[in-house]
Amino acid sequence: MRGPHNIIRLVRTLATMERTGAIGQVLAAMDAPPRLRAVARVLGWPFKWLGLKGDPALPPTTRALTALGPAYIKFGQILSTRPDIVGEELAEQLKYLQDKLPPFPVETAKRMIEEELGISVSSEFIEFSEPVAAASIAQVHRARLAETGEEVAVKVLRPGIERAFRKDIDAFWFAAQAIELISPASRRLRPKDVIAHFEGVVMGELDLRLEAAAAAEFAANTETDAGFRVPKPVWALSSRNVMTLGWAEGIALADNAALDAAGHDRVALGARVLELFLSHALRDGYFHADMHQGNLKVGADGAIIAYDFGIMGRLDDYTRRVYAEILFGFIRKDYRRVAEVHFEAGYVPADRDIDEFARALRVVGEPIFGMDASRISMARLLAYLFEVTERFGMQTRTELILLQRTMVVVEGVARGLDPHINIWQVAHPVVEGYIKTNIGPRALLRDLVQTAQVLGRFGPKLPALVEAQLVRQSRPEAEPKRPLHPALWMLAGGALVGAGVVLGALV
């Protein structure tokens, strides 16, 4: 599936961008160098006739991405949140991709629900609407349960969507392999690992049982978060291709005019979105990884309502601490510490110059502080960051791809509500609170207690393990003696240290 036949798919992608006029629009919006624009036109023009026509009623880029398929639509959804990169006009056009794609017939959806759940739609629901939102993977219907009268959202996967995604992902795999072969220097960015990560995320999104589980876990984690709500799943009416959630009533976060008319404070909402994301990522290690405007509403009480939990991110304790220290270093303008954290975490090879890396990071951070957000060119900052990663041999960290991408999206959402938002000022109290709780003496004591608890579970096995090792040591000289296994020394020593810590805490 990942063979050279995918060249046709990639050529068709470029041809479609040329035929629809999207390639010129995108490169112009991103202020691409004239030479790059010329090369793209030269490569695309001979194959223009192979390009997909798309819907002529749509703007060029939206037309091209919808014609190319769901994976490209996902990419467009991300760009729609970044007017500072692609420009206000193009970002506004791409918002169409969030939840206004052509739906499939309601009768098809009902048939799929009945086949999947083994029920009668007319018996389970006293109301079942036409599609109220249609995105790249699924569409949503508003319904009312016959048993309780509760309003719910019924999400149904598009017919044949998995096969369509497979085609795109196979082409991406071929492109990643070709890039690594043609440009060995690109291997540090691990394009194949990036595609593997993307594939895992997308395949998970195509199983709505996993999304229902994610919604339930996210709702439990955020239950006490003021001004934030998560609809809960109806498990009896959810399966692989169908999911039923409580209905989220509110104004779309992308509709600034309606938010203003309803009297909502957009500046406060912009800050709240960013605070919530950072809080979920750092505090819980579990965050909504698709927080674009199409997946967020504002309730009548001003609460932010999140839905569509197909893509969720998870961070372990160590990664959270690294991420928090990097953010806090930027906030305090302590670029030396930011550089040290990168080296300590292994993000930068140990043979590189830490002082030079700190100086390069200063170039990234300094222009942001004290400058109105509307004057910051995120496109130029991202271009410089790419130069930094190349110069210092930084490899792509696949475990952070989702976090980094979501941070970009959330920042774009916040700036859509408040173009002058200072992301560092908003982030400061959240990150500082996490640092105080999780990095320092209290965190060290908690880590030691947890270590003692883990070692305690091996306590009953310790005598037998030591005895077996000592027996092996006392065997005849014919059998070479081996030193006591380091793990046993560590286990014994750790048990003693852990016991001391626990006793000290009790005292």
Residues 6+ apart with CB under 8 A from 423: 274, 368, 373, 411, 414
By 3-state DSSP, what share of the chain in percent is helix, strand and coil, each rounded to 5?
Answer: 65, 10, 25
Kindly list the distances between the CA atom of residue 38 and the CA atoms of 24, 86, 345, in Å, as whole numbers in the listed order: 10, 19, 41
Which sign does the torsion angle of CA 71, 156, 220, 204 carry? negative
Residues 6+ apart with CB under 8 A from 305: 228, 229, 230, 231, 248, 250, 296, 297, 298, 299
What's CA 104's distance to the chain center, in Å?
27
Which sign does the torsion angle of CA 16, 18, 21, 27 carry? positive
List the structure tokens of 230.
């998560």
Compute the distance between CA of residue 425 and CA of residue 225 in angstroms, rounded to an integer. 20
Compute the distance between CA of residue 290 and CA of residue 77 in angstroms, rounded to an integer. 10
Does the annotation mark 168 as catalytic?
A: no
What's CA 381's distance to the chain center, in Å?
20
The residue annotated as part of the active site, out of 84, 99, 170, 290, is 290
Greatest CA span in the chain, whole angstroms? 89
Strands (E), 124-175: 125-134, 138-145, 151-157
DSSP code of 481? P
User: Taking a C-beta distance cutoff of 8 angstroms, is the pair 258, 252 a contact?
Assistant: yes
**Around Cβ 123, how many Cβ atoms within 10 Å?**
10
> Which positions are annotated as active-site residues?
290
